[in-house]
């Protein structure tokens, strides 16, 4: 997803102060969030 590993994605969420209030299943249903966050990392 979004060209980064799951662990890098989780680290990115933590750096952005985003709490994990949903599980992996919900994460799979929300790929646009991952794409936007990955884009921020690349900027």
How does pLDDT run across 1-43, given as a tens digit for each residue?
Answer: 568 888 888 888 888 888 777 777 777 777 877 787 788 777 7
Domain boundaries, given as residue ranges, for the chain? 6-42
As a whole number of angstroms, the distance between CA 35 and CA 40 comes to: 9
pTM over 0.85: no
Return d(Cα 23, Cα 39) in angstroms, integer.
22
Per-residue pLDDT at 31: 81
d(CA 43, CA 41): 6
How far is the C-alpha of 38 from the C-alpha of 41, rounded, in Å? 5
Nearest to 10 by CA among 20, 25, 21: 20
Residue 32 has a pLDDT of 77
Q: Specify the pLDDT at position 30.
A: 76
- According to the model, what pLDDT value does residue 2 have? 65
């Amino acid at each position: 997803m979004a060209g980064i590993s799951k662990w890098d994605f989780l680290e990115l969420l933590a750096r952005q102060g985003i709490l994990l209030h949903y599980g992996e299943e919900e994460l799979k249903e929300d790929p646009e969030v991952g794409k936007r966050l990955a884009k921020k990392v690349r900027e």
